[in-house]
A and B are shown apart, each in its own frame.
Chain A
Amino acid sequence: MVTHYDNTAQQTLWLSIYLPMLPVEVFTRGLKPEDTSRPIVILAQRKVRFLNPAAHARGINIGSSLDTAFTLSSQVVSFERNEQKEFSTLSHLAQWTYQFTPNVSIRAPDCLLLDISGCLKLFGGLENLKSRIQQGLTKQGYESVLTTNMTPMAALCLATSNRKQQVEKDNTGTDENGSCVAYVTKSLESLPVDCLQVDKKIIESLQQMGIADCKALFALPQSGLNRRFGIYFVDYLQRLLGEKPDPQKFINPEPKFVNDVTFLADINNTASLRFPINRLISELAEFLTARQLATNHLSWSLSHRSHGDRNFNILLANPVNEHDMFMSLTLLKLEQINDVKEIDNLSLAVNNLFPAVNISGDLFHGTPFQQNNSVKGQQQQTDMLLNKLRTRLGPGSCYGLSAANDHRPEKAWKPVRLDQKDYWQPDQIGMTSAPQPARPMMLLSQPKPLPGTCSFSSAGNVTGGASVKTPFQLSSLHSSSRKAKHQLTLLKGPERIDFGWWDEDDLSKVITRDYYVATIDNQGSLLWIFQYSNDKRWYLHGIFS
């Protein structure tokens, strides 16, 4: 041991998260407790590679065949090992740990490395941080072993040693003033050589040389090791002890959130999805909190291996990060889904992320002194209502109203999408000074032809035309079905409105309209009707409600 990579000036501390049951947990997490108590085995090449405690309790061992397992218990649930899924879960967990430190590195297949030297103070010390991470992982359904050491390789070694035997507690103390090498050497001394992350052949030959633990290994001269095992092994040892810097490749925070839950048995009623949905939404909320983000679009997908996917989207009025709102909207949408028979996988994807905006809340929130009309509370209520309406009725069925820059009645208004709020503001110079002719409160979407023989009279009782032959229904709501003849009295008009020759290709089609205010059957209803100037046909276009 010649050179000492001295880093006492800036002590680094690495936390290794080892997930021993990851291959099982990728399938079992998100399940109800009664499901996880069934024996579950994970197979590779028709041999049991991983199993849960329930399977172990029934006498199934690693390496036994599937037939043996079924002989021991008929309730065994088996999965083929899915390494791709394990890796994606591991990357997802790395994203999750990003909330604790930005320096997270993935060690496939089942370890994560975190540089926690910078965040101990923030999370109130090592023990606090460790218990927070452990609790978070347990909540998500993962068993974990956490170990710390001053170099990343040493932290990994400690973690893997926990795999072999329940070793003594790692006596990590950051207050130790000794050099990094001395500290690492001391902490690894008692470990057997087979927990080093090196080629199996090297470990075997070390054991054949009679070197059983690391203490003996560290005592050997480096040049001899170099000649015998090659430069990579010595390089590894130097990195292990901190004699050489060991830069890690850290993850980048992902710009999107994707996660899913797989079910043991097919689920055939959407009501039982509530529990896994809650889990996914909690994870989403943590993801967003860690990055100070908010979202306005959740994409859910219900799938089954033998059917197509059923997707549904939740659109929100404003980007938020609120667990309760996500939950209630998802359940609301789920109520409407009744065409799904079987589900074995539920996934949530969120791609639209926005920086979170924090409105200061009410100081007395949650107390009897809480103000109901605080800005935040009001905004939340409004958003919640809009979200509920749009989730249940469909995003297109809610709109605002705006005037539009056109004199034609059909085009003088427009629906306004609530996420755009493109209200038209008339400029003050133009037409506002002139008194506007009366306009009806209600406009028909399409002008409705009045029966050709409707009888009209002006207020001076001058009649033209003949009586009505077909009943003219004023409104579907308040019309009487009796066959009555209708008499329209024209009161106010005409107001000639020219019709958009600039929108028409064929100028001969352009017809001007003469608008009148009319009363029908002298019962008090005021209508807005018009007559085409060329062929004198009458239409109903609005109602002075």
Chain B
Amino acid sequence: MNAREEILGRVRLALADRPGSPEIDWEYGRPVSTGGLGLVERFAERVADYHAEVEMLDREDIGPAIAAALGDARHVVGDRTLRESWPSGAELEWLDASDLTSAELDQVDAVVTTATIGIANTGTIVLDHGRGQGRRAASLVPDVHVCLISADQIVSDVPEAVARIIELGAQTHPLTWISGPSATSDIELSRVEGVHGPRTLRVIVVR
């Protein structure tokens, strides 16, 4: 008997007492908010709580804000969709991640992406790596990540985010949930921001 048949056979034997399928007493997709702030303010507060930088701006201020967020960075990853939707006006050498190897990605200064969803309660941004976001490595290898998210992409809570992802049909896309910059607590449980992922995360909320 092959391993598959044998394991499935063992599972069926183990469940010979036929335990019934339990009811799950949970209303899926129901938003639960924590804290007294409004949606966008709560998102900003929780993102900042992870020591990410966050600012809320009007549409016309975004270009200069991107340029400012990039600081001294000159080689910046951002795909065509991003560049066309959010012209920064700055003198930058833009690169498309799909043209770069991992080693080349390691040499760029920063990456700019959009996001799919923001979660207020947990200060999380969700990327589904579609247009405007680039492949997964693009928002990982560079040391600075600037992420643009519009206020109407922000939902209250994890259940609402999960419902929205399913609604968008994005649940089988590669997904990355990002809550603050890369961090570790592995040495004496003292939190250190910045290990392998971008050590600087700047989130710009477009009102």
**A and B together in one complex:** no
- What is the interface of chain B, defined by CB distance below 8 A to chain A? none
**Residues in A lying within 8 Å of B, measured CB to CB:** none
